[in-house]
Amino acid sequence: METSCHDALLFTAEHPLRLRSGATMAEVSVRYETYGTLNAERTNAVFICHALTGDAHAAGRRPGDKRPGWWDTLIGPGKPIDTDVWFVVCPNLLGGCQGTTGPSSTNPATGEPYGLDFPLLAMSDFVTVHRRLGEHLGIERWAALVGGSLGGMQVLEWILTHPSEVDNAIVIAASSRLTAQNIAFSAVGRQAIMRDPEFRDGAFQAQGTSPDKGLSVARMMAHITYLSEDGFQSKFGREAQSGELGHNFGVDFAVESYLEHQGNSFLSRFDALSYLYLTRVMDYFDPFATPDATAALAADPAKVLVVSFDTDWRFSTEHSRRIVRHLEGARVPTSFREISSPWGHDSFLLTIDDYHRTISAFMERAAA
């Protein structure tokens, strides 16, 4: 499938981005990809929200790509999000590091990378930027918003605050309120980064270095939470990485090799400050704490599908049930599926028949 990659300068000094915190940003550029064709009535647009370490490249292959986009199993001709039917848009998040303005971008006020001068973000800021992208594309209504994990949280924020622009929404393996344990894992990951001496109070880029060791440790730890205990056991067990266990402090067990690979390969594609900023948005996200959180959506409901995975212990089914309870309490038409899968949180990225059938059926009803 052909992918179409674009950069759009969506906010400028004349039309700055106003953040929820009150801060403004005079220059915000967004990278996004599109797949499929927008119909003449502009009624077939689907918006994809990526997860913490995702990017705009959700599907297809760009010239030279060894692997397709991160959600290629779900998006494409004849796939659950069928690009013969839908025009699919996927942008990189504000605060990210893969084309959209983030803490590693140049701060126009100083000519240096932002570093920790980049403003703290909220989930609603993502929505503000993405609604502007819709305007830019001439799309006033989205047939569907779809996101997993952090992406699902953004979908939830969007439908709660601007439901009239959305017909359907799919919220996968997400949370409306992180638990203390969820925050704890995020916090330790951030500490691994910030305690790395190469962090340099966030000015590492200007100083020509980067907290690679801390970032790789954060990523390794996060990967433990993305897979279920049984998933780890069936994938690796206590197998040696090569031949027999060598009894040393190096990479001896296969599971150690897996984690080392995940930690090190992450460094080439992700920025430590983006990791801090995006994880912190999740920690603070708590939309149902607002009085009348569901009032706007209740008045103009989108159809919502909430999906969880039974072995996901990062955002367990209980997180999804809480979202469903709030939406049903507001009489929002909500479908809920707990999918059985051995692979924990990672399941939302994998091909699991029951999962894909559920998405297909919902999207077919959306097209009808």
- Binders of a copy of itself among 110-169, rule CB under 8 A? 116, 120
- Residue closer to a copy of itself (CB basis): 37 or 179: 179
Count of residues in the chain: 368
Candidate list 82, 312, 316, 341, residue with the active-site label: 312
DSSP 41-105: TS--EEEEE--TT--S--SS--TT-SS--TTTTTEETTSSEETTT-EEEEEPPTT-SSSS--TTS
Residue 76 Rama label (left phi>0; alpha psi -120 to 50; beta): left
Per CB under 8 A, 109 contacts a copy of itself: no
- Would you give the binding string for a copy of itself spanning residues 284-313, x where CB under 8 A is met? x-x--------------------------x
State the Cα torsion 50-51-56-61 to the nearest 10°. Answer: -100
What does each C-alpha distance from 282 to 34, 125, 152, 258 come to in angstroms? Answer: 26, 12, 11, 26
Catalytic, out of 105, 149, 228, 308: 149
Return d(Cα 91, Cα 202) in angstroms, integer: 25
Token pair for 8 = 């759009």
Nearest to residue 153, comparing CAs of 142, 161, 143, 165? 161
Q: Is 346 assigned a ligand-binding role in the annotation?
A: yes
Exactly one of 4, 15, 18, 21 binds a copy of itself (CB under 8 A); which one?
Answer: 21
Q: Give φ, ψ of 70 to 5 degrees.
A: -70, -20
Q: How far is the CB of 274 from a copy of itself (least distance, A)?
A: 13
Residue 209: CB minimum distance to a copy of itself, A: 11
Q: Is residue 246 a contact partner of residue 289, using CB atoms and an 8 Å limit?
A: no
In the complex, minimum distance from the CB of residue 213 to a copy of itself, in angstroms, rounded to a whole number: 4
Residues 174-233 close enough to bind a copy of itself by CB under 8 A = 177-181, 183-185, 187-188, 190-192, 194-197, 213-214, 216-217, 220-221, 224, 227, 229, 232-233
- In the bound complex, what is the minimum distance in angstroms from residue 318's beta carbon to a copy of itself? 10
Residues that bind a copy of itself (CB under 8 A): 21, 116, 120, 177-181, 183-185, 187-188, 190-192, 194-197, 213-214, 216-217, 220-221, 224, 227, 229, 232-233, 235-238, 245, 247-249, 253-256, 259-260, 263, 276, 280, 283-284, 286, 313
Q: Which residues are catalytic?
A: 149, 312, 345
